[in-house]
Structure 1
Amino acid sequence: MIRSRIFSLCLVALTAPAPAYAANPGDPTWPCVQRKVETLSPGLMWPHPINEAPLREAIAADAADLAAKLEQRRVDLDEAKTLIAQFVTEHPDVTQAEMGQMFLHIFDRINRDRRALIAGIGKYAQKQIALSDRIDEARISMNDLTAATPPDRDAINSLQQQIAWDERVFQDRSRSLTYVCETPVLLEQRLYAIAQLLLSEVPQ
């Protein structure tokens, strides 16, 4: 009953899941329709070997500045493409390998944020389960009070108000998962898109 409430409400809230993801049976407390993937691999997005050595001094500062901008979700992909093109114009000798080093830096930052978000979603789900337990326990108590002779009307009314409030909070939180559960997917899609933009601007 407890699990059925939390997951039925979450499924109602998540009306637009990403097609590449599916429910994860390995973690019954995971509240999202999207499959739980905690760690990504840069090799799935960047098709070439990546050298983890520091960038050469001539481009290091500008490359770090570019990477810092591309990490930000408020920088849309059109703006990202323009920023990358400007960087290549200013550094026409940049190599594919150096682009890969920049991508790795961006990947590490976004992947770290994504892991923290997934951990936060897990904690959020645990709070929902605890609230669901509280609602169930209150309903049992209310049934006991109703069956008593005479019933304690004041206590029953107090529990009814508590249950109504807790269920409202539970449902509001569940609806907010629509955005929260999509965010790890959006971050993964952003990483892939940035990789493609960097590759497309590699000087020939």
Structure 2
Amino acid sequence: MTFARALIFGLASMGLGLPATAADFSDPTWPCIQRKVGALSMGLMWPVQMDEDMPLDPALRAAADQLAETLALRRIDLETAEGLVGDFADTHEADMAVMSYVFSRVFRTLNTRRTALIEGIGEYSLSQIARSERIDETRARMDTLMAAEEPDFDEVDRLEEQVDWDERIYTDRQKSLTYVCETPVLLEKRLYAVAQMLTAAAKD
């Protein structure tokens, strides 16, 4: 097994406790154990048809925009978010139309952020693959040098240092990739949770 394949296989075992067979490494731009989900559908998360251009009182629109901005912040835990939604609904007698407006703003923000993350993971993955291939090539060069009648040990030592450095960088980046891979899923879960709490708080 080449170093590149070994490291990619090792990456599969670093996910969220899922079996390695859950990942599809035929796509080099998606190294995560989590299943890749491309564009999200707002219609699958929100129970009613919405009109994003619905007319709103300026004060209500400002309050709704502020709520949406806050709900999109991951540092705001869901329990706190639910309380904010309840207060907003009570203060403004917000019905499903108003909550639809809020959710559309939250969805737009988090979906844009999620799309950028997925694109970044793809670039990250291709960079890691290129580095692992470079390690394989360097090791092959070392083998060739050592097989010569008069090996160039200075060059072998230099190449060995290069391999050690590349392996260290690869391993460090692989560890951080575990967290990065979880983030799109967490954003998707947050969107579903926000949709549920907005729906539940909407006034008849």
Measure how far apart 1:151 and its partner are. Answer: 1.0
- Change beyond 3 A, Cα 1:49–1:27: same
| 2:29–2:123 CA contact under 8 A, matched in 1 | no
CA distance in 2 between partners of 1:132 and 1:147 (Å): 23
Please, what TM-score do these two structures have when normalized by structure 1?
0.91
Q: Which residue of 2 aligns with 1:60?
A: 61
Other-structure match for 2:124: 124
TM-aligned CA deviation for residue 55 of structure 1: 4.4
Describe the SS at the equivalent of 2:50: coil
Equivalent position amino acid for 2:12 in 1: L
Q: Deviations over 1:36-87 (max 9, x none)?
A: 1121001111111111214411410100110110111011101101111111
* CA drift at 1:98: 1.4
In the TM superposition, what whole-angstrom CA distance separates every residue of 1:93-151 from its partner, at most 9, and x where no partner exists? Answer: x2112101210111011000000000000000010011011101100110011111211
- Conserved? CA contact 2:25–2:31, under 8 Å: no
Deviates further, 170-179 or 134-143: 170-179
Unaligned runs of at least 5 residues, structure 2: none
Does residue 34 of structure 1 match 2:46? no
The amino acid across from 1:193 in the alignment is A
- Would you say the 8 A contact 2:64–2:101 is kept in 1? no
CA distance in 1: counterparts of 2:151 and 2:96, whole angstroms: 77
- The DSSP-based 3-state class of the residue aligned with 1:72 is coil
* Distance in structure 1 (CA, Å) of the matches to 2:180 and 2:145: 39
Structure 1: stretches of 5+ with no match in the other structure: none
Cα deviation, residue 12, structure 1:
2.6
- Map 1:34-113 to 2 at 5 A: 34-57=34-57, 58-92=59-93, 94-113=94-113
CA distance in 1, matches of 2:96, 2:63: 16
Find the counterpart in structure 1 of residue 162 from structure 2. 162
1:144-171 CA-partner distances (Å, limit 9, x unpaired) = 1111121111111111111112112111
**How has the CA–CA distance of structure 1 residues 43 and 17 changed in structure 2, closer, same or farther, with 3 Å as cutoff?**
farther
Assess if the C-alpha contact under 8 Å between 1:32 and 1:181 holds in 2.
yes
Partner Cα separation in structure 2 for residue 25 and residue 144 of structure 1: 31
SS of residue paired to 1:49: coil
Figure out how many residues of one structure are paired with residues of the other and give that number: 200
Pairwise CA RMSD:
1.8
CA gap 1:163/1:129 in 2 versus in 1, 3 angstroms: same
* TM superposition shift of 1:26: 5.8
Amino acid in the other structure paired with 2:65: A
| Aligned twin of 2:197 | 197
Q: Is the CA contact (8 Å cut-off) linking 2:18 and 2:33 kept in structure 1?
A: yes
Paired with 2:16 and 2:108, the residues of 1 have a C-alpha distance of 30
| Alpha-carbon offset, residue 15 of structure 1 | 4.1
- Structure 1 counterpart SS, 2:161: helix
